[in-house]
Amino acid sequence: MLLSGHAMTLDFLADVPRFLFFTGKGGVGKTSLACATAVSLADAGQRVLLVSTDPASNVGQVFSVELSNTPTAIPAVPGLEALEIDPEAAAEAYREKIVGPVRGLLPETEIAAITESLSGSCTTEIASFNEFTGFLSDPVATAAYDHVIFDTAPTGHTIRLLELPGDWSSFIETGKGDASCLGPMSGLEKHRDAYASAVAALGDPDLTRLVLVARADPPSLAEAARAATELADRGMRRQYLVVNAVLPAGSAQGDELAEAIGAKEQAALQDLPTALADLPRDLVGLKPGNVVGVAALRGLLAEEQPPTRTTPADLHANVRSDQPADLPSDLPDGLPIGLDALVEELAQDDHGLVMCMGKGGVGKTTVAAAIAVALAERGHRVHLSTTDPAGHPEGVVRDAVENLTVTRIDPDEAITGYRDRVMRSKGAGLDAEGRAQLAEDLRSPCTAEVAVFHAFSRIINEAGKHFVVVDTAPTGHTLLLLDTTGSYHREVTRNMVAQQHFTTPMMRLQDPELTRLILVTLPETTPVLEALEFEQDLARADLHPWAWVVNESLAAARTTSPLLRARAAAEVEHLQDVAEHAERVAVLPMMAAEPTGAEQLRRLSNLAPQSTTTR
């Protein structure tokens, strides 16, 4: 609930339990809110430990303190200590615990195969969970603290893995699980009791509170709703919603872009997904700059002009689709605006695979749809599809476009079909108990990745004949899909006789003459860091981005709002970092009108055609 004046009360900070988890997709501000909460509790005299397991965490930067995996005091905040768990280091240690005992006992080829099976994102998720299990299951580990705050929470996917199956030993020994999760799960048995205790603590409302952090836009709120449902199903039902970076009332000051943003935010808040509608809800206002330093953290949870919950009805009528071209731009010199140059280079061929990748909510669907429309209108045959369970490219394109076919991989249909095929084949010779165990194994979240992989493979096979543009699932799911693709490639390679010709889906993805990977991000700290880390994960599979697209840039939007201009200035550092890093870059401005429909998508290509080569 919000109060007038200079302060507001926050539902998620009322009667705080021992454990708080802040979760949300990259860039929504969960690290800032977790840090601000830790400072607030410490200022109130509580002893607080702040734990980050977010791979894109910048907790150390926020406090200007170098952190490690052991608690470090924050000098400016008495009573507060913090630590950062490096997920990759945790994953490496987890792998070594499994591989170390058999190194020297098994052939090197077997060691390499085991190591590779433990190299995916499932391993990183489970290893991170393993690292902070002690904070939840061992009272001695946190005896010195009144509260433990986690910057990121275990996903429903991870908890589901830790719950499945009922008979772990049989699951691991018989090898019935999916390729992307069997390796990671092989090290879980020895920690089973600790995991059970940790999962129980997560579900105890007297011990644990989950804070879902989102932005006031439909994709972000939909992501929060999915997390709310999945985690509630896993027993985490004491949930609170914090909508961060809401445009404060009165900050538009006649700027049409700011007015449009405010109107869209208020509309999104009035039409919350069902899973979020009844949760306690707090709104935190947009700040002019990055939230860095203790003073900024203390100011984050105190609003001089709190966001309003009321939608100004007259804003929608006055919104234009873009700002006038003669308004000032804050974009650094030399950075290209629009997709035109990228599309022109792609269109030099008559076929190929274009994959738009990145975290959820960065605008992959919009970018993929705009590229597909632009290629189709240049006379090329194009198939636009998505592997994102929440992706609906047909709703973005909306209009019929000559040469363009729009489909989507329906995960539910793919999973159902895959499970039916496995039960008919592998399950045919099993007894009732065996079929029941197989059916339980097939309920693993990783089954979805395998099922989607088969549908994905069928689509990318078309790229040799015409253009295929794919809007991928958010990063974690994409990595699992790529892990599955890589596992299939290795299996095929092992089984092929010498000199026999074959082409696997991974070989198509690795072919730079066929495939162009486009990494989509936002001009903010966490999304850029996550994109860089995703690029490193892709490199492990010998996959490399062809171009970067920085979406929803205020610096490119020609706004006059003082608040938005201040936010635009904060983008410049990130835009310059991307420009220096990537070979090809396109910047898309924040737009007043939602870029849906063929006409709006065309504008994303034709904003300001320039060369995309930055180095």
Domain-located, residue 500? yes
Which range marks the domain in which residue 600 is found?
340-415+451-605
Looking at the structure, tell me whether residues 56 and 146 fall in a common domain.
yes
* Banded pLDDT at 487 (limits 50, 70, 90): low
Which residues pair with residue 20 across a beta bridge? 149, 209
| Type of residue at 163 | E
User: Which residues have C-beta within 8 Å of that of residue 402, sequence separation ≥ 6?
Assistant: 376, 377
Q: Which of 204-218, 447-461, 486-500, 555-569 is predicted least confidently?
A: 486-500
Domain-located, residue 585? yes
Identify which has the larger pLDDT, 136 or 579: 579
Catalytic residue (one of 24, 25, 26, 27): 27
Looking at the structure, tell me whether residues 290 and 378 fall in a common domain.
no
Catalytic residue (one of 24, 26, 29, 358): 29
Looking at the structure, tell me whether residues 256 and 306 fall in a common domain.
yes
Looking at the structure, tell me whether residues 176 and 268 fall in a common domain.
yes
Is there a catalytic annotation at residue 54? yes
Token readout for 595 is 């870029």
pLDDT digits (tens, 9 = 90+) for 176-229: 444 444 444 555 555 667 777 777 888 888 888 999 999 998 888 988 998 898
Nearest 5 degrees, angle CA 599-CA 603-CA 604? 120
**CB 50, CB 280: distance < 8 Å:** no
CATH number of the domain residue 155 falls in: 3.40.50.300
Domain-located, residue 17? yes
Can you tell me the distance from the alpha carbon of 348 to that of 344, in angstroms, rounded to the nearest whole number? 7
Identify which has the larger pLDDT, 122 or 6: 122
| Type of residue at 354 | V
pLDDT at 507: 73
Domain-located, residue 6? no
Strand, helix or coil for residue 357: strand
The strand order across the sheet containing 352-357 reads 404-406, 382-386, 467-471, 352-357, 515-521, 545-553, 585-589
Looking at the structure, tell me whether residues 262 and 402 fall in a common domain.
no
Can you tell me the distance from the alpha carbon of 121 to that of 476, in angstroms, rounded to the nearest whole number? 7
pLDDT digits (tens, 9 = 90+) for 326-361: 444 567 777 888 999 999 999 999 999 999 988 777
Domain-located, residue 478? yes
Of 315, 193, 301, 194, the closest CA to residue 250 belongs to 315
Q: How many CB atoms lie within 10 A of CB 266?
A: 22
Domain-located, residue 121? yes
The CA–CA distances, whole Å, from 161 to 127, 445, 446 equal 12, 7, 9
* Banded pLDDT at 154 (limits 50, 70, 90): low
Looking at the structure, tell me whether residues 309 and 348 fall in a common domain.
no
Among 283, 316, 349, residue at a domain's last position: 316
Catalytic residue (one of 31, 133, 155, 515): 31
Identify which has the larger pLDDT, 232 or 75: 75
pLDDT at 327: 47
User: Which residues have C-beta within 8 Å of that of residue 44, sequence separation ≥ 6?
Assistant: none
Range list of H helices, 44-120: 59-63, 87-99, 108-117
pLDDT at 46: 96
Looking at the structure, tell me whether residues 355 and 468 fall in a common domain.
yes
Q: How many CB atoms lie within 10 A of CB 457?
A: 16
Exposed, middle or buried, 258 (CB in 10 Å: 0-12/13-18/19+)? buried
Q: How many CB atoms lie within 10 A of CB 166?
A: 10
**CB 565, CB 599: distance < 8 Å:** no
Catalytic residue (one of 24, 25, 26, 30): 30
pLDDT at 12 exceeding the cut of 50: yes
Is there a catalytic annotation at residue 27? yes
Looking at the structure, tell me whether residues 402 and 300 fall in a common domain.
no
Burial pattern 516-544, b for ≥16 Cβ within 10 A else e, equals bbbbbbbbbbbbbbbbbbbbebbeebebe
Is there a catalytic annotation at residue 405? no
User: Beta strands 239-246 and 404-406: pairing type?
Assistant: unpaired
Catalytic residue (one of 24, 54, 208, 484): 54
Which residues pair with residue 106 across a beta bridge? 103
Looking at the structure, tell me whether residues 226 and 362 fall in a common domain.
no
What average pLDDT score do residues 222-248 get? Answer: 89
Token readout for 300 is 């984050």
Looking at the structure, tell me whether residues 300 and 378 fall in a common domain.
no
Looking at the structure, tell me whether residues 344 and 309 fall in a common domain.
no
Is there a catalytic annotation at residue 30? yes
Catalytic residue (one of 25, 26, 32, 537): 32
Is there a catalytic annotation at residue 387? no
Can you tell me the distance from the alpha carbon of 565 to that of 569, in angstroms, rounded to the nearest whole number? 6
Domain-located, residue 425? no
